[in-house]
Amino acid sequence: LDECGKAGGGIVRLSAGAYLSQPISLYSKTTLLLEQGATLKATDDPRDYLPSSVTWDDVLQGRSKGPFVNFVNGKNLTDVTITGKGTIDGAGARWWVPAEEARRKASGYTLPRPNLIRITGCRRLTVSGVTLRNSPKFHPVPEDCEDVLIEGGTILAPEGAANTDAIDPSVCRRVTITQCLIDVGDDNVAIESGKKMPGREFACEDLTITDCVFKHGHG
């Protein structure tokens, strides 16, 4: 991925097999292609996602919120694609138990954790065909993005996994979510307006959600 970024774009292809990885970053004009049978799996060690000055115990005890790095990251990009018939697995099991314990102590509280995918400030973002599962928290989160297509994918998390939203478009314009199978422990699709964006009447505009199957999950 780094080499594609330096070269101005390209395709990174993962053939069938298991790939255990710390957090990764995407770049403009880059396609991450996961072939059938390929699983890109996140490590579940909190130290891989936190600054060196912050410990997981600091987060659990409420002394710090992180900040967390997400598993798949990107910022201020154009033409990014995640596609194929493979899987991105967030290895969320280690994170869900303390998150649920925290929620039970304070109703509505969301224990800070990494998201599976968070892409910020991207024009033309496509997530197509892949299976996304077991995120520590939310699955794909396009934020302040335009022309987003999420199609033909499967998003899975156990019914009781806290805060495992499937898709959370946040302050985005022109988003299409279609032909997805979603079975998660929290919101199916949560459209987050969040804040007023300069130069537009609404923070989120022109979203179409169609031909999806929702199983567990809310809303």
Active site residues: 186, 218
| Token pair for 2 | 């780094």
CA-to-CA dists, residue 12 to 23, 33, 49, 208, angstroms: 16, 6, 23, 29
What are the phi and psi torsion angles at 98 (to 5°)? -65, -30
Dist CA 154 CA 74 (whole Å): 21
**CA max distance for the chain:** 49
Bond before 198 cis per omega within 30 degrees:
no
CA angle 151, 155, 156 (to 5 degrees): 165
Helix H or strand E segment including 57: helix 56-60
DSSP single-letter state for residue 48: G
Nearest to 123 by CA among 153, 151, 143: 143
Please answer whether residues 48 and 23 qualify as being in contact, where contact means their C-beta atoms are separated by less than 8 angstroms. yes
